[in-house]
Structure 1
Amino acid sequence: MKAVLPYHHVDKLKEEDAWSLLKKQIVSSVTDIHEIDMLKDIGLQIVAKCDGLPLAIKVMGGLLCQKDNQHSDWKMVLDDSIWSVSGMPKELNHAVYLSYEYLPSCIKQCFLCYSLLPKAAKFLREDIIGMWISEGFLHGPSDDLEELGRKYYKELIQRNLIEPDSKYIDQSFCNMHDVIRSFAQFVARDEALAAHSGESNIVSKLSAHKFLRLSLESKASGSDGLDWSSLQAQTTLRTLISVGRINVKPGNSLVHFSCLRTLHIESAHAALVESLHEFKHLRYLSLERSDICSLPESIGKMKFLQYISLRGCQQFVDLPHSIVKLGHLRYLNFQKTSINGIPRGFCVLTNLRNVNGFPARVDGDWCSLEELGPLSRLKYLEIQGLENVTDSSFAAKAKLVEKVHLTNLCLTCGSRLGDDWLIEEENQ
């Protein structure tokens, strides 16, 4: 992994290079390059305010590309009073601060929420949008919330406040520069805390102040990890994100966090899962890469649940029948689990937009492909285990051709014996 240089130690650009970088952020297929060159004089004044620092220039470019290429718009940015603020804490870089202030109010909370995501974990765009929906940051018609979230996500990219991971071509994963992350966490410091278990003062922070959002990242193991009991005072939490090891002892539970709307715990202890039903307001539940083998039947009491991800829970095999009572569900993810069937009655979950890792079965006391038929709002569907479906009539009952909102369809067929009695390769 490439080391990230401290912000003030990055080589500063010369004037012409700085102008070229700014212009690169603004010029697009619909923008006249000559039109931008006409603004070079004021553009050079803006990059001078950025002190030749590449990140600041990119952030300014992201801000200016949201505006009409008019001299008055650029002059307004140049003359903003934020540039002249003195004595700011080191976290409040002028350029990032200015870009944040120009963000629409509806996107500011999304941006601050993004800064809490632990750097050690990768969060898919749909996961992040699910958190925004669960927190109530997205306002609009229910059918359009995911699309609205994608719009906000794209705008954060355009403003260079988050940067797409070059390993993925569809911008499904992004990173946030340390300088921008520090700024956002400083702005949200009264309501949110992003902490590492190795920090010496984390326990005192947790005991001295109650937060609305808490993000914990731990690389420690055994007794060096953070004790779950140190979180018990955080009774006002709406969001809890935990990546890595937390020491859970007998009797520990989640009952203290009755206000939670968003819960993401990687490597969750099975003892915690049994108390999930205590979360009357929970919308978002992610238990990725945990050693749990099932969800409790009481999950049917969590009427507001919209999002469930069990991705990477390799021992997970059993989904309770009460799942069909969760009429608000929008997202289900069973990828890389061992689940081999869905309880009957799945067809009533007509609010679902995304289903990943649906196991295809045609026998036993399980939901068949036919019950996918009524799910008309589906936008993303992944069906695995199609080798278990030997009759095309079963597949036809899924009514895929009638799902007018479906934009992504993934069909997976695992290994099975062919007519020559040899194992056939997996196909997609």
Structure 2
Amino acid sequence: MGGLLCQRDIKHREWEIILNDSIWSLSEMPEELNHAIYLSYEDLPSCIKQCFLYYSLLPKSTLFYDNNIIGMWISEGFVHGTSDNLEELGSKYYKELILRNLIETDTLYIDQCVCNMHDIVRSFAQFVARDEALAAHSAETNLGSKLIAQKFLRLSLESKSSETDGLDWSSLQAQTTLRTLISVGHINMKPGDSVVHFPCLRTLHTDSAGVVALAESLHELKHLRYLSLQNSDISCLPNKIGKMKFLQYINLRGSQQFVNLPHSIVKLGQLRYLNLIQTSINGIPRGFCVLTNLRILRGFPVLEDGDWCSLEELGPLSQLNELGLHGLENVTAPLSTAKAKLVEKVHLTDLYLTCRGRLGNDGQIEEEDRVSEEEQQQIERVFDELCPPPNLDHLSVNGYFGRQLPWWMMSSEAMPLKSLRILFAEDLACCTQLPDGLCQLPYLEFIQIRRAPAIKCVGPEFLQSHNHQSPHHSHVVAAFPRLHEMKLAGMLEWEEWEWEEQVQAFPVLQKLTLQGCKLRRIPPGLSAQAKALNILCIINFQGLISLENFASLVELEVAINPNLVTITNLPRLQKLTVFECPKLKVLEGVPGLRRLVLKDSDMETLPEYMGISINPRHVELHCSLPLLASIGAGQSGPEWDKFNHVEHVKAYAREGDNPRKWYVSYASNPYNLDTNVNLSSMSRGDAKI
């Protein structure tokens, strides 16, 4: 309803019209379906209605990114625009569904690129589309009869991974009118199975290892626009794929056995999307430069010998919105990278630059992957030539092993990344400092830097804008003026962060994660200047002793900090999670604390501060079995005075792989104490229900 009402002027009459709509009394709809969703659905433009109903077909067990979904919409003809703006228009439809709360963003993924649909909303959409579309699971008892009794335009099937539960491909052959077929999970294939029974198919998405039998007949799908063989067992596409003149999208992500693209792919003049991520592709055929309709190209393997096309063939691809280059360590002539003409690609908003990683699981350089000074200098020259256009929105750098980052990440004057909003950098094996050209970027919202073991100090250059004044204003411009979230992890040798209290920076930073370093103190500038900071995660700091004086902090997580002793003066803190911080003795100055989570399987007594300086409403404990038994003893136990004032306590102890095998549940008002630990057995060193 909020999503619907926000489309209306905030006037009494506008909202009253919605309140009095006849849909509220519609009787044809089953009772379990929500009339408010029906009202919201009816308010959608007709083109977005189709996109909404289509979204409900996507199996919940599989991850679908926004560009995959938009590609399906375009292939079905739901997005009505010119060839130049289809993806942009589809993105607007996608964001409109988010705005109306008909799909919900998954917060684990940045920038709304993954969404979920609530089960109630999904049931409604599937009910509305029931005459044309079916979303089913192979285990349904009446699925076979449904497929015999009715022909559908769109079919979505989920199957389990085992062959005994999988659906037979032959059971689908009666669905000759299909325009969309989505199959996730195992499907039973036999020799001779093919796609020739689906002559009208526009969209084919399979997420299964067992579809290699279909590869040779794919060229028979004359009307196919969207082909996704995700996580499949195919090693190549058929040589006749060049005959599929309408093909616009090819997704091979996760097909690890895939090694070869046929030369005929250069005949697919309508191709807009090609994803080769997590494949074993070892090159692209020459002549690739003719595919000038490409908008998204991910997983492009960089090779400079043999019959494969080089980076130079990317030069004419001027319509690219997203580009991912893999294997940049293979470039032997750094100046040749300039021929890719990245800086001239005015539509390019997302760029992914990847080298083979040199770091092991411990975050340090593997002995066999030691990098020579000559190799460092060469990769530095390669990346210097890959300067992106100034309108770049999203940058990801992975596996870079130069000592210095490329000039366009370190320049604060020319600001070549002036439009950058999101930055990911991972496995920076040899970099000795963070990029110092970012702090003045006006739109930068998110930074994540993981695994940079050569950085020992973050100096004042990281926040250098405090030395600069705006040419139009006399006041100092704060560094990182729009950054909302930052994650710095795996900087194993990081010992010092220079940031004094008076240096203005991060005025709107809301969430900060610091993980895996040697910092002994949090810089005073952070608590003094990051006045909007709500969520702070401090993980695996070996030397940190105290954490204090964050006026705005609402949620704090401290984990694996073996020397942390004191947490104090956090006046707005509401939630605190403490995981394996055995020396934490002082917790005070947290008057707003509502929820406390303590996790330490070796904990044998509750900390003293629980009965002295804090008064949370809810406490969750993960502790040793003896401590759990002491809590379960209630008023007669030694821990009673430390938790009896808490409104609700949930405590757990592990057994084997079950972290909640044993439990105690306590409520103070009305009094209730429940446990599955047999306290009398505990006295004999045994725990039984």
Name the TM-score, length of structure 2 as normaliser: 0.52
Partner Cα distance (1:73, 1:140) in 2 = 31
Q: Which residue of 1 aligns with 2:234?
A: 292
User: Among the aligned pairs, what percent are the same residue?
Assistant: 72
Aligned length: 369
Give the conservation status (yes or no) of the 8 Å contact 2:329–2:356.
yes
Residue 90 (structure 1) shift: 3.1
Partner Cα distance (1:177, 1:244) in 2 = 22
Give the conservation status (yes or no) of the 8 Å contact 2:289–2:314.
yes
Residue 402 (structure 1) shift: 0.6
State yes or no: 1:338 paired with 2:292.
no
Residue 92 (structure 1) shift: 2.9
- Change in 2 beyond 3 A, CA 1:91/1:237: farther
Unaligned runs of 5+ in 1: 1-59
Residue 93 (structure 1) shift: 1.2
Partner Cα distance (1:75, 1:245) in 2 = 50
1:80 aligned to which of 21, 24, 27 = 21
Question: Which is worse superposed, 383-392 or 235-244?
Answer: 383-392
State yes or no: 1:186 paired with 2:159.
no
1:298-330: CA deviations, max 9, x gaps? 111100000000000011101000000000000
Q: Which residue of 2 aligns with 1:373?
A: 315
Residue 66 (structure 1) shift: 1.2
1:240 aligned to which of 181, 186, 190 = 181
Q: Secondary structure at the match of 1:276?
A: helix
Partner Cα distance (1:402, 1:182) in 2 = 47
1:349 aligned to which of 291, 296, 300 = 291
Unaligned runs of 5+ in 2: 358-368, 380-397, 401-424, 426-689
1:418 aligned to which of 371, 384, 399 = 371
CA RMSD of aligned residues (A): 1.6
Q: Which residue of 1 aligns with 2:267?
A: 325
Q: Which amino acid aligns with 2:45?
A: P
Q: Which amino acid aligns with 2:195?
A: L
Q: Which residue of 1 aligns with 2:485?
A: none
Partner Cα distance (2:78, 2:337) in 1 = 38
Q: Secondary structure at the match of 1:215?
A: strand
Q: Which residue of 2 aligns with 1:382?
A: 324
Please give the residue correspondences for 1:184-333 in structure 2 after superposition, counting only pairs within 5 Å. Answer: 184-267=125-208, 268-333=210-275
Partner Cα distance (1:412, 1:269) in 2 = 29
Give the conservation status (yes or no) of the 8 Å contact 2:327–2:355.
yes
Q: Which residue of 1 aligns with 2:71?
A: 130
Residue 269 (structure 1) shift: 1.4
Partner Cα distance (2:288, 2:335) in 1 = 19
Q: Which residue of 2 aligns with 1:164?
A: 105
2:82 aligned to which of 133, 136, 141 = 141
Partner Cα distance (1:84, 1:186) in 2 = 18
Residue 220 (structure 1) shift: 4.5
1:364-413: CA deviations, max 9, x gaps? 10010000000000010010100000212210110111100011111111
Q: Which amino acid aligns with 1:110?
A: C
Partner Cα distance (1:137, 1:167) in 2 = 28
- Change in 2 beyond 3 A, CA 1:417/1:368: farther
Residue 149 (structure 1) shift: 0.6
1:173 aligned to which of 110, 114, 130 = 114
Q: Which residue of 2 aligns with 1:37?
A: none
Q: Which residue of 2 aligns with 1:27?
A: none
Q: Secondary structure at the match of 1:329?
A: coil
Residue 420 (structure 1) shift: 6.7
Residue 224 (structure 1) shift: 2.3
Give the conservation status (yes or no) of the 8 Å contact 2:323–2:350.
yes
Give the conservation status (yes or no) of the 8 Å contact 2:62–2:184.
yes
Higher fraction of strand: 2
1:19-76: CA deviations, max 9, x gaps? xxxxxxxxxxxxxxxxxxxxxxxxxxxxxxxxxxxxxxxxx11001111212221111
Question: Which is worse superposed, 410-419 or 62-71?
Answer: 410-419
Q: Which amino acid aligns with 2:25?
A: S
Residue 354 (structure 1) shift: 0.4
Please give the residue correspondences for 1:53-64 in structure 2 after superposition, counting only pairs within 5 Å. Answer: 60-64=1-5
Give the conservation status (yes or no) of the 8 Å contact 2:106–2:112.
yes
Partner Cα distance (2:303, 2:193) in 1 = 38
Give the conservation status (yes or no) of the 8 Å contact 1:312–1:335.
yes
1:325-358: CA deviations, max 9, x gaps? 0000000000000101000000000000000000
Partner Cα distance (1:310, 1:88) in 2 = 40
Residue 91 (structure 1) shift: 4.6
Q: Secondary structure at the match of 1:294?
A: coil
Partner Cα distance (1:141, 1:422) in 2 = 46
Partner Cα distance (1:200, 1:339) in 2 = 41
Give the conservation status (yes or no) of the 8 Å contact 1:361–1:389.
yes
Q: Which residue of 2 aligns with 1:18?
A: none
State yes or no: 1:361 paired with 2:299.
no
Partner Cα distance (1:370, 1:91) in 2 = 58
Q: Secondary structure at the match of 2:265?
A: helix
Q: Secondary structure at the match of 1:263?
A: strand
Residue 223 (structure 1) shift: 2.6
Q: Secondary structure at the match of 2:355?
A: coil
Q: Secondary structure at the match of 1:143?
A: coil
Partner Cα distance (1:247, 1:169) in 2 = 36
Please give the residue correspondences for 1:35-74 in structure 2 after superposition, counting only pairs within 5 Å. Answer: 60-74=1-15
* Structure showing greater Rg: 2
Name the TM-score, length of structure 1 as normaliser: 0.84
Residue 414 (structure 1) shift: 1.1
Q: Secondary structure at the match of 1:224?
A: coil
Residue 168 (structure 1) shift: 1.2
Q: Which amino acid aligns with 1:137?
A: F
Give the conservation status (yes or no) of the 8 Å contact 1:197–1:220.
no
Higher fraction of helix: 1
Q: Secondary structure at the match of 2:178?
A: coil
Residue 87 (structure 1) shift: 5.6
Say which structure, 1 or 2, has more relative contact order (CA 8 Å, 6+ apart).
1
Residue 417 (structure 1) shift: 5.8
Q: Which amino acid aligns with 1:208?
A: A
Partner Cα distance (2:286, 2:28) in 1 = 63
1:72-115: CA deviations, max 9, x gaps? 21111111100122363135311011100111111000000000
Partner Cα distance (2:246, 2:121) in 1 = 33
